[in-house]
Structure 1
């Protein structure tokens, strides 16, 4: 399943620098070797992405997050700050998602429009809009719960626990959630839309639930 493989690869690639940092810090309790391990893993991931013919900016963005985290830890001397950039991004998304859902612009739908180059055409399909909204709401609840737990650990200065939770709990949870929510999306989007302005109305078989490759 192509889409789920991409999600799985993204989760794994994001986890590798965290694994490097967490294992090194849990073993040595030293910041310098821990950051070196994290940056080495991030550089390896960036190189792998470039070799897989992905856009260079995407590879550099991932490395940039790890580099920013390393800079924060170096400046503060607090190992837990390694996780701060991701926490800020996740917190921002947690605030923005409910607003976008209320505006009938679920982030999953926006991402779909960008990936398929169809823009906001999916909004004219009541079935698609409903499917993206329900799935995005469930994902938001899962991610908000995990993020809240990470914030609690960050405030308690539990750097090793943050890394362990991210790798051992968050990564499997995200992967399982992606599989379950993808199946839910396909079921919700499988029904034809009766709205006259629906761009998929004349050709129900062209609904994205059938058009996205697995």
Structure 2
């Protein structure tokens, strides 16, 4: 596995710089997001074309295998590609047991509902989930709590993600209960990458345009080794 991405040549001087750097490291950048989402996207496209559960699961697994082989060949970390294995395996297992194609979408719907509750509770407690992502790549995972600016920004970013989970669950749960698999697949596509890209664009604007100085007591911690 490859080492953690190198730190910037100059330490972050603003809250936005620090959060942007830490999130990029924690999430693996665009490549990590793509590797995590590609198997589900392959399943959806295959289902819309074939309406065959086995073929769609096979397409998802094939894309996942390609991502794993590519990362192994480049001696890169597998953690982001492996993230798609669990969701794909659980969805395929449930659908194979029930024989209902719409059950492939059940884990995703439940995950969105669970994350919506988790993110909402974290915001109410002023311990936003995004803050833990910021701290996860440092030697002190709660150091971000010492800077009110970081806490405030993480609250906003957590709220942005929460909105996406709520929208997905609100649209897809009724479709699942009605057994409308085709509409579920379309909504999954429409509310998947497009909504994710829109959220990242909004978050990017927040992180690029903001200029909140870091508090003296919140000096950047070194990134932890993976």
Scaled by the length of structure 1, the TM-score of the pair is 0.78
Q: Which has the higher helix share?
A: 1
Summarize deviations over 1:32-53 as a string: whole Å, max 9, x none. Answer: 2222222222222333344454
Preserved CA contact (<8 Å) 1:127 1:188: no
1:157-196 paired onto structure 2 within 5 Å:
157-188=179-210, 190-193=212-215
Residue 144 of structure 1 corresponds to 166
1:39-188 paired onto structure 2 within 5 Å:
39-56=61-78, 58-188=80-210
Say whether 1:17 aligns with 2:17.
no
Scaled by the length of structure 2, the TM-score of the pair is 0.74
Give the one of 47, 52, 75 matched to 1:30: 52
C-alpha deviation, 1:115, in angstroms: 2.0
Structure 2 stretches of 5 or more lacking a match?
1-19
Q: CA distance change for structure 1 residues 46 and 89 in 2, over 3 Å: closer, same or farther? A: farther
Q: Within 2, Cα distance between the matches of 1:88 and 1:170?
A: 15
Preserved CA contact (<8 Å) 2:47 2:56: yes
Shifted more, 86-95 versus 160-169: the winner is 160-169
Structure number with the bigger relative contact order (C-alpha 8 A, sep ≥ 6) is 2
Q: Within 2, Cα distance between the matches of 1:16 and 1:34?
A: 13
Aligned residues: 201
Preserved CA contact (<8 Å) 2:91 2:105: yes
Shifted more, 112-121 versus 44-53: the winner is 44-53
Summarize deviations over 1:78-108 as a string: whole Å, max 9, x none. Answer: 1111122222222211111111112221110
Q: CA distance change for structure 1 residues 10 and 157 in 2, over 3 Å: closer, same or farther? A: farther
Structure 1 stretches of 5 or more lacking a match?
201-205
Preserved CA contact (<8 Å) 1:47 1:59: no
Q: Within 1, Cα distance between the matches of 2:74 and 2:103?
A: 31
